[in-house]
Chains A and B, each alone.
Chain A
C-alpha cells in the first residue's frame, strides 16, 4: 500500500477518507458491527453530528426520502445540546484511536463562540495535555434545514468572515469551515473563510431541494424543503471543489455523492486533500475504509503517489 496519510492543519489522518457530519453514529454501530468499529474505526477521522448550543428536537416526520440517484433529508439538527455532548459524548470521542472533528452549528456569531469556547474549556480540562493533534472543529455554516442562522451565515461572505474570525480567536486547533453550495459564488465564501483563519474548507453541504407527495400533491417533507445528497449531486459538488482549489490555498475536504473509489479519485483530482463519505454510508457503514483501500490499489495501479493525484484536473497536458 502506498502512503495514504494526509495532514489537515495539526491533524494527521492515516488515509484521506472520513465521514460527513450527520451520517454516522459510530457508537450506535457497535450494536450491529461489534466493538471493533470503535477499536479500529472505519474512518480516518470521525466527524460526529453537528452539535448545537441548546437541545433541539429536529424537524417533524417525514424527514427523508430516496430520490433519483440519491436522497433528500430535512433532519433539522436534533441533538441534546452542548452540555450533554460534553458530558456524554466527549469522553468516548477522546478515547477513539483516530482524530475527531467536532461539527458545531449555531444561529448567531455568539452561539458559535459559545460552542467553540465551551468545547475548548472542556478539552483543556479533560483531554490531558495538548489535544490539538487529536481534535479539530468544523463550523457548519451551511445546514439548509433549520429556519434561521447556519446557512444564512454561510450564504454571506461578510457573516462567514465574522463567525470564522470570532471562532479562530479562541480555538487553537484545526478549524474547518463547512460551506453551503446554495450560493451564487462559492469561492467568495471560501476566500472569506480562509482569510479569516479557517485552516481548511469542507465542500459541500447538501443542495436545497423539494419533493412532492404523489398522493396529496403537497411538499412531502415535514420541513417542506430539504437537502439533496448522494451520487445525484456529485458533479455539482466536484465543481465546487474544483473552483475552491483554484481560489484558496487551504486544504479542502471534498464531499457530495461519494460512493465509489472513482468518486474519491475524482475529488482528489479536483484538489481535495481529504474526502468525506455521507449518504453512501447509509447502505454500507464501513464504506470509508473500503474506499481508502481501493484508493491505495488505484494509486499502485497507476504508479502514482497520493500527492501526485491531488489537483491533477487543473493541469493541462
Chain B
C-alpha cells in the first residue's frame, strides 16, 4: 500500500496538505461525482449525478452525499431515486444546511457519493403477493419510488414473457396491479411527484395496470386528506405495501394495514446518520422486540412487523 506511483506534482502536493476532505488524496472509497442535471420539482430538487464506478442500487438503498466544497462536516443520506448506469438521481428536500447545499448545486458541480448503502425493498416479496403492490409515500418519501417502479416494470415484463418460470402464482395471472398513493402537505410539495408520475405513465404505456392517487393536507386540490385516508379506502387483503415517509405517517400506515388480513408491509425509515455503513452506532431505532437496529446497516427498509410488532 505504500507504493502508489502517483506522487503528484508540487501543485498537487500543496493541495493534498491543505485541502478539504478529499481532492488530491488517493485511494478513497467515495466517488467524486459531477452533477449532470438539476430539476426543480416544486419545493424539492431532483439532482442527477454521474458517479464513477457506481455499482447499481436496489430500490430503497441510499447513498451519502456531500457537496465539494462543503460547509458541513458530514455527508447526508439520500435515497437512490433512479439510476441509469453511472447516472444516479436523487430527490432532495431542502430542510437544513446539508440538503440546502445539495439543492444549490448546478450542472458540472462536484459532489462526493458513497453508496449504494443499506438494505432496500425486497422486490420479489412485493410482486409475489396474491394481490397488488401498493406504494405509500408522504412528502419527500416519494424519493425511492421511481426506481422501485422501474424495477417492478422489469419484473412484470420478465414474468409476462414467461421469463422466470414462477408457476401459477405469478403476479401476472390477473394482470400486474400497482397502486401508488402519495400524500403532500400542499401543492408546492407535490412537485416532487413528477418522477413518480412519469414512471407510472411508462408502466401504463407498456400495458401494465398501474394507478396513481394523490392526497393534499391543505385541501388545495380536492378534499382535505392524507395518504393514509387513501390507503384506508383502497387496501385489500393480500396486498403487499411499500412505505416511505415521516415517522408519524409510517405509524398511521401501520395502523391501517394491521387491520386487514394478509397484508405485508415494508417501511423505509429515517434517523440521524453519521457514517451510513454501520460503524458509528448512531442511527439506532428501537425495534418491536426491544433490540436496537442500525438503520443504515439493518435497514433503512424494515418489515412492518419488525418495527411495530404483531
Contacts and interface: CB of A to CB of B under 8 A. Distances in A.
- Bound together: yes
A28 interface: yes
A285 B285 CA distance: 23
Contacts, number: 161
Secondary structure call for the B interface: loop
Interface in B249-289: 271-286
B25 A290 contact: yes
A265 interface: yes
Interface stretch (B71-79, B144-152, B157-165): B71-79
A10 interface: no
Which DSSP category, helix, strand, loop or mixed, fits chain A's interface? mixed
Contacts of A282: 74, 274-276, 279-280
A286 B27 CA distance: 7
Nearest to B296: A28
Contacts of B271: 61-62
A276 to B, nearest CB: 14
Contacts of B272: 62-65
Contact of A70 (B28, B73, B273, B285): B73
In which size bucket is the chain B interface?
35 or more
B244 interface: no
Interface in B90-128: 98, 112, 114-115, 117
Contacts of B283: 63-64
B274 A64 contact: yes
A119 B74 CA distance: 35
Interface string A271-305: 00000000111111111011111101110110000
Contact of A1 (B2, B8, B22, B74): B2
Contact of A281 (B16, B275, B285, B292): B275
A132 interface: no
A25 B298 CA distance: 14
A117 interface: no
A291 B284 CA distance: 30
A120 interface: no
Contact of A279 (B13, B64, B274, B286): B274
A14 B1 contact: yes
B21 A283 contact: yes
Contacts of B19: 260
Contact of B27 (A22, A29, A293): A293
A33 B115 CA distance: 9
Contact of B29 (A49, A231, A284, A297): A284
Interface string B34-67: 0000000000000000000000000000001010
- Give the size category of A's interface with B: 35 or more
Given A265-B17, A293-B4, A301 B292 contact: no
Nearest to A259: B21
A64 B13 CA distance: 34
B185 interface: no
Contact of A25 (B2, B22, B278): B278
Contacts of A230: 73
Contacts of A284: 21-22, 28-30, 112, 114
Interface of B: 1-4, 7-8, 10, 13, 16-22, 24-30, 64, 66, 72-75, 98, 112, 114-115, 117, 271-286, 292, 297
Interface of A: 1, 4, 14-15, 22-25, 28-29, 31-33, 40, 42, 49, 57-58, 60-67, 69-71, 73, 75, 78, 230-231, 259-262, 265, 279-287, 289-294, 296-298, 300-301
* Shortest 7 CB-CB contacts between residues of A and residues of B: A64-B282, A28-B278, A290-B25, A282-B275, A282-B274, A286-B29, A25-B279
28 contacts: A22-B281, A25-B278, A28-B278, A28-B297, A31-B278, A31-B297, A61-B271, A61-B285, A61-B286, A62-B271, A66-B72, A67-B73, A71-B73, A73-B280, A260-B19, A260-B20, A279-B74, A282-B274, A284-B21, A284-B28, A284-B114, A286-B29, A287-B28, A293-B2, A293-B27, A294-B16, A297-B8, A297-B13
Given A294-B16, A297-B16, 9 more contacts: A1-B3, A29-B278, A40-B1, A62-B271, A66-B98, A283-B75, A284-B112, A287-B25, A300-B7
